[in-house]
Amino acid sequence: MVLGRKARTVAGLDIGASSIKLVKLEERSGGWALTALGMREIPLETLVDEEIRDRDTVIFNVQSLIDQCDPNLKEVAISISGHGVITDKITIDQKSGAEAEQAILFEAEQRSPFDVEDVTMDYHIIQVNQETRKMDVLLVAARNEFLNSYIDLVADAGLRPVIVDTDAFAILNAYQLNYEIDPNKVTALIDVGFDTTSITFLKDGLYHSNRDLGSGGRLIYNAIMKEFRINQELASKTIKGEMGTSIDQDMLKATVVTASEELISGLEVAFSYFKSTAKVPKVDWIVLTGGGALIPFLPEFIQAKLNVPIEIGNPLRNIEYDPDIFKDAQPDKIAPLLAVAVGLASRKVK
């Protein structure tokens, strides 16, 4: 959903349930460069299940992040995910121009589970098959109430949200920016956030489908607090792998494994459904990002349960930056958390 006209890049603002991330990129000959980066952790009850419960806290932290990174910044790209967003892929006869848009939006209205008066819709043509004269189209529908809650919040922070994307497509943008997509491999991009896990499947080198799961790191965080009888600060450090030998590792592993059962079950269902609909025998590769990529023992457990090799994704892999300038932000350490923000920052407003 693009709300602007000039061709330019904007900063990516990722408002998550446990932290807010800001990334600003500059396109240069041969690639991209990081020009601004910041992250602020927020109280864990500020956003729950994509619902904004404390607007003032979010606004304060967004404004503080802007002051820290670029006080002159006004235009940002944001993203949404979860229960307020529906995506679907359709195949229709090849058309162009206004005729194509009319046909696509008509089809979208037939498929949307929401009342068309209550949603904002957009679409993207994935590919056109010249032999069959058919084209694959991705549809996105967002509930207006859900969408406007984020747009209004960002506007109240003094910013202009000129692009609204979804987490899944922002993560895909970041992946395309940093990795060569192998058309012979079936790849799953999994971003484990605090409340929501986004899964995007790639087949034949193209987007195939995505699914959001209503589970993530919060379940593990709560279990660690309860099992070890520690406060929120120590639990947060634990799920980021910062406690090391100061906490019993065998007990931690058992806690993570038990607390991630709901997440694993959701992933198994998503993978099974994808393999059935895409008619593929297996997924060849998983690229894992989000806070879940940093939780001790979780990547290995996901790999073992799904029986698919995992790589921890680095959305700064092909992006130039001076480590001395960003040493306080520690980009190497927090890179897996930046997939959404990097993907948003690589978007252009037309």
User: What pLDDT score does 130 carry?
Assistant: 85
Please report whether residue 77 resides in a domain. Answer: yes
Q: d(Cα 257, Cα 17) in Å, to the nearest integer? A: 22
Please report whether residue 226 resides in a domain. Answer: yes
DSSP state of 314: -
Please report whether residue 135 resides in a domain. Answer: no
For the chain, the domain total comes to 2
Residues 166 and 195 in one domain: no
Residues 163 and 34 in one domain: yes
Residues 205 and 246 in one domain: yes
Residues 294 and 343 in one domain: no
Range of the domain at 19: 1-84+144-179+317-350
Please report whether residue 90 resides in a domain. Answer: no
Mean pLDDT by 10 residues, the chain (350 residues): 54 96 91 95 90 95 96 95 84 84 79 73 85 87 91 96 93 96 96 96 94 94 96 93 89 97 97 96 98 97 98 96 90 95 89
Q: d(Cα 349, Cα 15) in Å, to the nearest integer? A: 20
User: What pLDDT score does 114 carry?
Assistant: 60
What residue has token string 């032999």? 131
Q: Which CATH number fits the domain that encloses residue 30?
A: 3.30.420.40
Residues 156 and 226 in one domain: no
Residues 210 and 300 in one domain: yes
Please report whether residue 64 resides in a domain. Answer: yes
Q: CB pairs under 8 A, 24+ apart, for 307-311?
A: 308/188, 308/271, 308/282, 308/283, 308/284, 309/284, 309/285, 310/286, 311/285, 311/286, 311/287
Q: Please tell me whether residue 187 adopts helix, strand or coil conformation.
A: strand
User: What pLDDT score does 7 carry?
Assistant: 55
Residues 65 and 214 in one domain: no
Residues 262 and 242 in one domain: yes
Residues 242 and 332 in one domain: no
Cα separations in angstroms, 240 against 224, 293, 330:
12, 9, 14
Residues 76 and 158 in one domain: yes
Residues 244 and 302 in one domain: yes
Please report whether residue 105 resides in a domain. Answer: no
Residues 170 and 196 in one domain: no
Name 47's bridge partners.
52
Determine contact, residues 23/11, Cβ cutoff 8 Å.
yes
Label residues 132-161 b or e (16+ Cβ within 10 Å = b).
Answer: eeebbbbbbbbbeebbebbbebbeebebeb
Please report whether residue 160 resides in a domain. Answer: yes
User: What pLDDT score does 5 carry?
Assistant: 40
What DSSP letter does each residue of 114-144 carry, written as one string? S-GGGEEEEEEEEEEETTTTEEEEEEEEEEH
**Sheet with 31-41, edge to edge strand ranges:** 160-166, 75-80, 11-15, 19-28, 31-41, 319-320
